[in-house]
Structure 1
Amino acid sequence: MEAQQILPRFCPKSSLAPSVTIVKQSFSLMCPPLPSSSSYASVQSGAFRAISIARKEVCSSSWRRVCCSSSSGAEPKEGHEVRAQVTVRRKKLAVFVSGGGSNFKSIHEASKRGSLHGDVLVLVTNKSECGGAEYARNNGIPVILFPKAKDESNGLSPSDVVDTLRKFEVDFILLAGYLKLIPAELIRAYEKSILNIHPSLLPAFGGMGYYGMKVHKAVIASGARFSGPTIHFVDEHYDTGRILAQRVVPVLANDTAEELAARVLNEEHQLYVEVVEAVCEERVVWRKDGVPLIQTKENPNEFR
């Protein structure tokens, strides 16, 4: 099924994939000469490969020049730090949910208040009446049903959903409580561009069957003293992709699963927004051994 045939079903009144005129635009870097003693060893040695922001064709309304400058406007002196302020294109996001979508709401609210350099263009769900889908419809975000269910006539196949996300020009996919396994077609189409959040410190308490309250009950039953959310890139298996970020919370002696879940969820809402901010600002780099790291905003040679 062609994407052009799919989209009108979700948004019959208007085009949901905004049309942007793409123009040729020069992309210049204006920096005073760096002193010979300046060294960026981790970059020169090839230890990390940063995501490139240089492109021949860019949206003229979304990009501006990259400028390096010292506070005085004069050429930097020996030992003085030179910082580059970079504005990158706003990223287009798709969020996948199966339930209430509280992490989806946190990400969308961060985008609306301007702290997130990206926009949620489409919501994908396997439960058309779930809380996340209702929130999306109330906020003018189109909802797509995936995967196709036996009792639903308008669900999409894996190839259909790939075509539809490409029509929206989606840059990153964010799984936020989506309980279905992501098919290989989607993973190949969005390599290193799909993130998931899991409510335990992976690789512990992950895999098929570990979701929601089941995770917290297992953590408490094990006697673990700490838990917390994990954000990882998605591969073709449950919860086995490369870990990008984690946050630790204590497991208290008399915790119930509900109490631990609330403590972890509070951290989830903060951590996921922070990670998506980094992704949208292109601050994720990959170590030689394939481990992803997040650069700090202040210094690209420091990692959080």
Structure 2
Amino acid sequence: MKKILLFASGTGSNADNIIQFFKNQKEATVIAVFSNNPEAKVLAKAQAHQVPTWVFNRVELNEGSVLNKIKELQPDLIVLAGFLWKMPEAIVHEFPNKIINIHPALLPKYGGKGMYGMNVHKSVLENKEHETGITIHYVNEHYDEGEFIFQTAANIENCKTPEEIAAKVHELEHEYFPKVIAQILKP
């Protein structure tokens, strides 16, 4: 069975959706949720599914403790599901093409440092875009610059607020993210 390790920083709607998607499958399972935020709601969601959690700080991420813990677990895929910190080069190099991220826009637009969550949706609205979407990509040493795996778009011409855009993007994330993960893990 393939092992998925999730990283998340916030409420964890994507992480929860991924855990539920793989819960009764024989091909893959979520083995743990790692978070940099001890107050993150994702921790309670993971625990409700009996998925182990681990909270770490920036020092542990950058000095190797997180890398050592990942090596112990030996995941087949590391999934950043709303994880807001940059993944250290040491982890990226140790797990080439085994770390993926979801971005709430059609990269290369609206990517880079500081472009996450509502920051993205506000920028999309301010620039009067007619569509936005999601990009699932491999993680490399730079924010949102890894090779694209999947993109899909939604029409947002009728959206008047960043929250309305966010709702459309969340629908895409919840529909496609688990399916793309399953596809990546197929032999």
In which range does the TM-score fall when normalised by the shorter chain? over 0.9
Contact conserved, 1:158 with 1:186, CA < 8 A, in 2? no
Letter in 1 for 2:100: L
Q: Aligned residues, how many?
A: 187
Q: Which residue of 2 aligns with 1:207?
A: 112
> Measured at CA, do residues 269 and 158 of structure 1 come closer, stay the same or move farther in structure 2, by a change above 3 Å?
farther
1:217 partner SS: helix
Q: Percent identical across equivalent pairs? A: 34
Q: Which runs of 5+ in 2 are unaligned?
A: none
TM-score under structure 1 length normalisation: 0.59
Q: Does 1:97 align with 2:2?
A: no
2:145 aligned to which of 226, 240, 245 = 240
1:129 Cα offset (Å): 2.0
Q: Supply the RMSD in Å over aligned alpha carbons.
A: 1.5
1:249 to 136, 146, 154: 154
Of residues 87, 92, 100, the one that matches 1:187 is 92
Separation (CA, whole Å) in 1 of partners of 2:61 and 2:170? 30
* 2:35 aligned residue: 125
Instruction: Trace 1:21-36 onto structure 2 (pairs within 5 A).
Output: none
Answer yes or no: is the 8 Å Cα contact 1:102–1:132 preserved in 2: yes
Question: What's the offset of the Cα at 1:254?
Answer: 4.5
Equivalent positions of 1:122-271 (< 5 A) are: 122-148=32-58, 155=60, 157-271=62-176
Structure 1 segments unaligned to the other structure (5+ residues)? 1-89, 150-154, 283-304
Shift in Å, 1:197: 0.2
SS at match of 2:64: helix
Greater C-alpha radius of gyration: 1
Alignment partner of 1:276 out of 164, 167, 181:
181
Distance 1:96-1:137 versus aligned 2 partners, 3 A rule: same
Distance 1:145 1:112 in 2: 22
Q: With CA pairs under 8 Å and 6+ residues apart, which has the higher RCO, 1 or 2?
A: 2
Q: Answer 1 or 2: which has greater helix percent.
A: 2
